[in-house]
Chain A
Amino acid sequence: MIKLTVNGKTYETDAEPDTPLLWVIREQVGLTGTKYGCGIAQCGSCTVHIDGAAVRSCAIPASAAAGKKITTIEGLASGEVLHKVQQAWLDHDVPQCGYCQAGMIMAVAALLKDKPKPTDADIDATITNICRCGTFQQVREAIHAVAKA
């Protein structure tokens, strides 16, 4: 039994407390925008925000997020208005298959919150998500476009 606050809503779930947060979000809460890619904190597909910070949700037990504010890709936009990172992704046609992109966008949104005008070095140090389709060139362009706007 574990209680989570996701995108402003509270969910009481029957998940075992040591279940990775990723799987509770996907299976008990039922929000599947957050993706599984490795389960061992390598790929970043599962990135969510916990109290505003980017966290790889596959690598922490759900119990560690209880009582905290969790935001997933589904909660990033304000209603119908896309978050500026989502909008830049749309403008720059970033995704290929799209599978990694929720995690990528969540990681970038957190970076831009800390550093609204990141350098290439900031991007390189912070955005370590895997994208097997290889969208990095567009990702970098889109980040700089947001920073300039």
Chain B
Amino acid sequence: MTTMPKMNRRTFIISTAAIGGGLALGLRLPFGPGVVRAADGSPEVNAWVVIRPDDTVVIRVARSEMGQGTITGLAQLVTEELECDWSKVTTEYPTPGQSVARKRVWGPFSTGGSRGIRTSHDYVRQGGATARLMLIQAAANEWNVPASECSASNSVITHGPSGRTTTYGKVAEAAARLTPPKDVKLKDPKDWKIAGKPVKRLDTLDKLTGKQVFGFDLKLPGMLNAAIKECPVFGGKVKSFDAAKVSGMKGVKKVVQVGDTAVAVVADTWWRAKTALDALPVVWDEGPNAKVSSATIADVLRAGLDAEQAFVGNRSGDARAALSAAAKKVEAVYSYPFQNHACMEPMNATARYTPDKCEVWVPTQDGEGSFAAVLRASGLPAEKCEVYKINLGGGFGRRGAFQDYVTQAVQIAKQLPGTPVKLLWSREEDMAQGRYHPVMQCKLTGGLDADNNLSGLHMRLSGQSILASVRPHILEKQKGRDPATFQGVADSGEHAFGYTIPNLLVDHAMRNTHVPPGFWRGVNINQNCIFLECFMDELAHAAGQDALEFRRKLLGKHPRNLAVLNAVAERAGWGRPAPEGIHRGLAHMKAFNSYVAACVEISVSGGNKVKIHRIVCATDTSYAVNPAQIERQIAGSFVYGLSALFFQECTVKNGRIEQTNFDSYNSMRIAQMPKVESIIMPSGGAVWGGVGEPTICVAAPAVINAFFRATGKRIRSFPLKNHDIELV
């Protein structure tokens, strides 16, 4: 493994809880009872809501914005309960240091697993509702009337009997002094006016004018720039480097080693730092991993397909017995490659270190994770550390659990005390030092009885565990098993298997590699949905049945899976003749507590040129806070997932990743973009489903299934470019 520190949440809480509350970090916290004030002096009605005298409402958002629209969605939920004027809403990130000082009043910062809204909707709405009641109470106190006679709408409070009005901005100061009420009742989503509506995002304008400051764009007084190169063989180290060769180059200030594994050049501009870094002679101690290649990894995985030992993820009946008794047996082996996140904005972080204070500015999916990395790398206690979150130029899972760039920035800044240093990765560094989508192979064996019913299924996964590398404590509790491996095919929970099959076995032969794995948008549903949903088509074909009908028979106990599948089939016209040359394919899954399905229409010319004309997608997210943003996430997830399907593979040679940039790791362009039709069909209930990730998994298998119908060729390894299949 590389230098990435293994910071788990437990150690973070323990190390930060020790310093307790009462530290003023940017916010002005009073001693004893009193009003907490934002930096501009405006009162906090509660931790979620600051109201300025001009009625501007500042809503605090702990989760990170990386394009998925979370800050807008969360602000909608707070606004809904607060009854404030949406046109006067703005948002602000609290800092992780403030969170620590205030006993994590904003809850978790981590923004991954499509959790941004679905796991915080309740407490943020409570925050809005509580603030509304306090504002109304403050007005009632001023007027000397019962609060029950007052109501609030659009930031205006009205006393019903007298018709008197006031605004939030006028009573915020008094409201902030009140004791918050308890057990506040939330609105029925049926009555939502701002939430549930396709309102525009709050954060668009600055993205159109070049004004939005990304981490890459940060400027601080006296700041220097760093370019870095880490040992390209994972697990390798720096042996030596010849700083003298480049220290005289223009702009170069310092050449430093970063931990055991990397070297960096610090210069006045990044371009000069990078130019010197490219000229810097470095000798690596590459270690034993330098012998590893894609072929050796594939061999290890292949052996796992028939290995005795495997962790069971889902079992009912007796799959092996059913398979040996089957009238017809179908078997197939699939494999899925390593993939890089390739966020549009490469990794970066800016750090300033003195023995009294370490500050970091970083685009991060997990401000608290970044904070923990700063503590660890700086060696300073929590009250001397701070992290300022910056909106991300894409995250997709790369910028949450992994804070390697933060650690590096602090390690560099420590060697130039007092000077802010902005560390930017080149695209090449970003490609070489990913936290890759894990590799996985899968052998599926299905049995059909004499009536062509699916009597048994064995799905043997063999490949890499993300949690073994990233959250080993979870494996400890599971006797070595990685439960996340079974996303989409699990026996229960938010990634439950979508079919009822009398005899079923899903198990995992864990085969870890030296290539560091990570959470890549959708995580393990990407390969699991391909494995399962392509194989269901293979079984339907072997049974001589329609792919939809074959599935429907197994979906009797899965009404929500069935509903989304039916919805796409009906909209796309499944069962009716397709236009000349058009072929359809289907897939569905339950993921991140949402139910998703897709039906694609493709044509294939010359046997290998695939045009995707249309994708109909349905998602049941339980609730839809912003349908317009959900549509965008669906379309975006297809761009991400189909780029992976057609183009993307990180291959390993001599222990390192071979692809270096978008020329060898392509991404879909507008010409290849299919028309996406979204059916958003939230069906309510107590559990909310996610948005950013679930739909990513259904596009690829639906396309592969359609390709089979078009050509009679069943593709089982990816990306499709390896089969000379092009996306046009």
Contacts and interface: CB of A to CB of B under 8 A. Distances in A.
Interface of A: 15-16, 19-20, 23, 26-28, 30-40, 42-43, 45, 72-74, 76-77, 82, 86, 89-90, 93-102, 105, 123-125, 127-140
A139 B69 CA distance: 17
Interface of B: 66-69, 200-201, 203-214, 216-217, 219, 225, 250, 269-271, 342-346, 391-396, 424, 426-427, 628, 632, 635-640, 661-663, 667-671, 673, 675-676
B635 A134 contact: yes
Contacts of A45: 344
A121 to B, nearest CB: 9
A73 B68 contact: no
Given A37-B427, A96-B632, A130 B394 contact: no
A40 B271 contact: no
A33 B673 CA distance: 26
A73 B66 CA distance: 21
Given A23-B270, A98-B393, A138 B632 contact: yes
Chain A interface secondary structure, helix, strand, loop or mixed? loop
18 contacts: A16-B250, A27-B269, A39-B426, A77-B209, A86-B209, A96-B68, A96-B69, A98-B207, A98-B391, A98-B393, A127-B669, A130-B662, A132-B342, A133-B394, A134-B639, A136-B668, A136-B673, A137-B676
Contacts, number: 178
A126 to B, nearest CB: 9
A7 B112 CA distance: 39
A30 to B, nearest CB: 8
Most buried by A among B67, B211, B344, B632: B344
A38 B427 contact: yes
B394 A99 contact: yes
Contact of B638 (A16, A19, A134): A134
Contacts of A130: 344, 662, 667, 669
Contact of B663 (A16, A26, A42, A101): A42
Contact of A132 (B201, B225, B343): B343
Most buried by A among B391, B637, B670, B671: B670
Most buried by A among B205, B211, B391, B639: B639
B37 to A, nearest CB: 31
Contacts of A100: 344
A96 B67 contact: yes
A31 B342 CA distance: 24
B661 A40 contact: yes
A136 B344 contact: no
A99 B635 CA distance: 17
A110 to B, nearest CB: 15
B393 A95 contact: no
Contacts of B67: 95-98, 133
A118 to B, nearest CB: 12
B393 A97 contact: yes
B269 A28 contact: yes
B392 A127 contact: no
A33 B344 contact: no
A32 to B, nearest CB: 4
Given A45-B344, A134-B638, A99 B210 contact: no
B670 A127 contact: yes
Contacts of B670: 123-124, 127-129, 136, 139-140
Contact of B207 (A19, A95, A128, A134): A95
A112 to B, nearest CB: 15
Given A131-B344, A134-B640, A73 B209 contact: yes
B639 A99 contact: no
A133 B636 contact: yes
A128 B661 contact: no
Contacts of A82: 208-209
B446 to A, nearest CB: 34
Contact of B208 (A90, A131, A132, A136): A90
A132 to B, nearest CB: 5
Contact of B671 (A20, A77, A98, A124): A124
B204 A90 contact: yes
A89 B209 CA distance: 11
Contacts of A94: 204
B393 A33 contact: no
A132 B673 contact: no
Contacts of A34: 210
Given A19-B271, A38-B662, A95 B204 contact: yes
B210 A97 contact: no
Contacts of B392: 97
A112 B669 CA distance: 19
A137 B635 CA distance: 7
A125 B204 CA distance: 27
Given A40-B662, A96-B69, A134 B210 contact: no
A104 B145 CA distance: 57
B208 A95 contact: yes
Nearest to A20: B271
